[in-house]
Amino acid sequence: MKVIPFSKVFSIGTVYRAETNKSFIVRRVGTNSTTRTRIIVEGRVCGEFIYNFAPLTCTSSNSLYPFELNDLYIVIPKGARFEFSGETGKYVKLEGEILIHEYGEDLPAEFKSRYENQSKEYYTFLQGTYTSAAAATIPSGKVATVLDFTCPAGREYLLNSIFLAEASTTAGTIPRELLAHQILINDSPLDILDSTMGPFGIATIQTPNPPRADLNFFEYTLENMPIQLREGTNLKVVLINNGDAKTLASGETLNSNVIIVARYKIL
């Protein structure tokens, strides 16, 4: 078996088929699709991505690189059909290795095992958005619940990767520095409880969505403090205004967009 590197850009909506003597081992994924994009191998979803945390390449408008799959790499065996669902006219970049098989040679055992399980455990993301009414009065403290998710039966989500949660007003009435997002598990905040200790939540200037030159180059991650969601566990992400109540200008809105990368597993 010969192994060679690859980096290829595929069109969303096109059906592809691996050659009869070649397999893809996908290590990194990127896309320019701003809606949920699925990688489908032989009719089974084995990954969900979006531009915000998995761009095609690093630029000034998104300083992240294609997303590293680590142990949840994707196997596209020789002869397999694969495709991408998502935003029409957009693209997906896959990077990794091509295995060139000798006649009669099959996938190595580790890759065969991953192929059999990749539709049961893969990377996905949770997303929530909020937009206030124009010229609304924004209260001090909790403004709105941006994301509300309860883990379904027979599933598990491990939040141990990128956390993007950005909020801002369209005309700057509320300084971005005063806005934050608070994580709650079963309605219990993972945070301080008394404002005498400081402002509530994770400051939005620390959790850019996406990371970029005009706000913050670096992503916020839950890698060192993962959150595990099991059957019935409820996750909320709440938008916080740590300043005084403000009335927005005519036509102005307050907007929030939260994306949390997750390891998804069918039990």
H or E stretch at 5: strand 2-11
pLDDT at 203: 97
**Does one domain contain both 37 and 132?**
no
Count of domains observed in the chain: 2
pLDDT at 257: 98
pLDDT at 187: 97
pLDDT at 145: 98
What residues make up the domain containing 234?
125-266
Q: How buried is residue 213: exposed, middle or buried, by Cβ count under 10 Å (0-12/13-18/19+)?
A: exposed
Q: Which of 104, 119, 134 is the last residue of a domain?
A: 119
Q: Which of 119, 149, 173 is the last residue of a domain?
A: 119
Q: Mark the ranges of the chain whose per-residue pLDDT is less than 50.
A: none
Q: Are 120 and 44 in contact (CB under 8 A)?
A: no
pLDDT at 105: 92
pLDDT at 239: 98
pTM for this model (two decimals): 0.96
The strand pair at 67-68 and 37-41 is best described as unpaired
pLDDT at 113: 98
**Does one domain contain both 129 and 234?**
yes
